[in-house]
Structure 1
Amino acid sequence: MSAVALPLVAVATLGAGPLEAGMLAAASWLPWLLIGLPAGAWVDRLPRRPVMLACDAVSCALFLSVPVAAWCGVLAIGHLLVVAFLSGISAVFFQTASYAYLPGLLPADELARGNARLVGGESAANIAGPGVAGLLAQAASAVAGVLADAASFLVSAVLLTRIRTAEAPRPRADRTGLRREIADGLRFVAADPYLRVLTAVGATGNLALTGYQSVLVVFLVRVVGVSPGAVGFLIAGMSAGGVIGAFGATRVTRRFGTARGLLLCQLGTAPFGLLIPLAGPGWRLSFAVAGGAVVIAGVTAGNVIKGSFRQAYVPSHLLGRVIVSMQFLNYGTIPVGALAAGALGAALGVRPTMWITTGLLAVFGLILLIGPLHRRPDLPVRPEDEPRQFASSE
């Protein structure tokens, strides 16, 4: 809901333009650059579920402050930026802990199914959430969508408390200092030919994805002329591709293999993003929905494949640090893409910016052709250079 509700509050309630919309998107992802690396080391030291519960509580309070400020008549763009930034810090810890939590609950041969179900549920929420936010914006105000989003974090916390399976114990790594622990994760990623390529393709893809998504609400409202209520339903239609991608990922990998399936998901779907800038009033809105849905399907399926590979491939005591080492670059390019798109939108116009960002999106998957990934049908199950060391470290 916040993906639509916060930009709608900025655009429809506070009169923000493309630059402010880009800043808002950048603020929520900037924490990955600032604290992502130490967050991974901290998560590897702590039990993961309590970290996630604390993050839910903090996020609920932050999003609740937006409607309170609006009702008091003091809401401003600066407030939204602070909420986006602080909730982004919470998201860094929550996402890192959640990625690292699943391998402690499931055996390795169930990770692909587990990830597909989790991502499928998330994709379903990405359909319902924007629609609910748009409906609330139409019926009441954009601020009402933020209030509903705050309540969703309470639901998350309640559901987390209902997990009965105890987290599997992890080998206790030597506490050699935070910097040393961070360096271990970075070295593991830098030395591995598969993780290096996946990090590079993720960083480039997020740069392009965030570029068009950060100005998408402005594009639909100001350029295409869509009402605030309809924006949520259009974005929900685009997000429908996520459900197809999540549940289609395992079928793709069974048919083509994990490595070739990943290539198909990334290279075969990204060019459809070029349909989005063709959107216009009436039937031409279908270009945006179709293009966005296919892109999101490919990205989601790729995320399922990459996530399952990483969880099975990386030793458990390093998993949190490896995740944030990769996300440091993957998510670190997101604020850059958001700010760049906002600046381009202000300087060149919103539609030309959509063409530039979706054009980059169309070609980013070619990075996967670098390295060994494209030369085999399946991704490996352990680092090939030191199989015994990492097999025993579990």
Structure 2
Amino acid sequence: MWTRLRQLHRQRVALHYFALIRFFPISHLPIYFPLILFHGRSPAGAAQAASLNATTSPAFPPPISITQKESPRSLLLSPSSLIPENLKSPPPCSPKIRPFSFPVLYRSSFRFPVSIDVGAMSSILPKNETVQIREVWSDNLEQEFVLIREIVDDFPFVAMDTEFPGIVCRPLGNFRTSSDFNYATLKANVDMLKLIQLGLTFSDENGSLPTCGTDRGCVWQFNFREFDIQRDVFASDSIELLRQSGIDFKKNNEKGIDTQRFGELLMSSGIVLNDSVHWVTFHSGYDFGYLLKLLTCQNLPDTQAGFFNLIKIYFPTVYDIKHLMKFCNSLHGGLNKLAELLDVERVGICHQAGSDSLLTSCAFRKLKESFFNGSTEKYAGVLYGLGVENGQTAH
């Protein structure tokens, strides 16, 4: 019996090696070996993967195709190491953890949110006509930044939300804590993927919005061009949610903002590198990851300490509502659930960054008044799911 089991195990390992060799060049195996890739693929990759069906056992689906030429070498983790057993409750934006003793390329069936709670699938249309969400494209980018530079001193609370192609990979290795695993996952995905949309909501200490010479409060929604659904890797469920929310990926490609130009304007806007600006977010590790990548034009640091050192430089004061909720016994869930519990009404379309940033801003104001007596300063600098506070390790 044991002899037969060993034979089956050797056959299973051989099948995975065979699939890897057929799919990747021999020289690339050390690069792709420690990563488990799943979900979305390009049409060209789908055809290539389909061609493997005839030579791959039905018991083991063919590898998912990706277009990236190289994965982060800094994440080369031991493929034979197991993920710790204590990683039982990853944050909502992280996939469930399934330990393996050797790398496997597979299709994933679980789902996760892009940046907000997937429980609220329906769009909530605008009911408050005193707010306008200003769509920003390549042709009006500079004039919108002129407005932003004028109002940032008077409206220094900046609520931020991003939309991106989901989570498409996770590392294998031996991690001391869940936060180590969370950051390794964050880095691998942010380094590989591209930002789709950014929402910014400015407010003053009373929660009032800038009007920019109009009769309505202004919220900004920036649409980027780099993500190409025909070529880039993505999580299919996440992209489908964004489609349903009204994001037009073709329009983004044609009229969207160049991220390098956006980064230049952001650096000179007075929003970043400014001690007086307070950044308000919800479960924002990925949000800040994409902004740092955009500002530095580099991959994220290898360590959490390096990541938080950059956060402290570019975003000196940050509040993560998901972290604040840990101190409010009656609050739980994602952004939509929190808004429901706090009786905060959404303005705009669910799963779009502008609306989500406004909801984040309103929820923070209500949370601050209801649970923290108007004072949240001592909770600044902590991002939910990451175990470093202001550049110092917490373990």
Name the TM tier (shorter chain). Answer: under 0.3
Tell which has more relative contact order, 1 or 2 (C-alpha 8 A, sep 6+). Answer: 1
Q: If you compute each CA radius of gyration, which structure gives the higher value, 1 or 2?
A: 2
The TM-score with structure 1 as length reference comes to 0.27
More strand by share: 2
The TM-score with structure 2 as length reference comes to 0.27
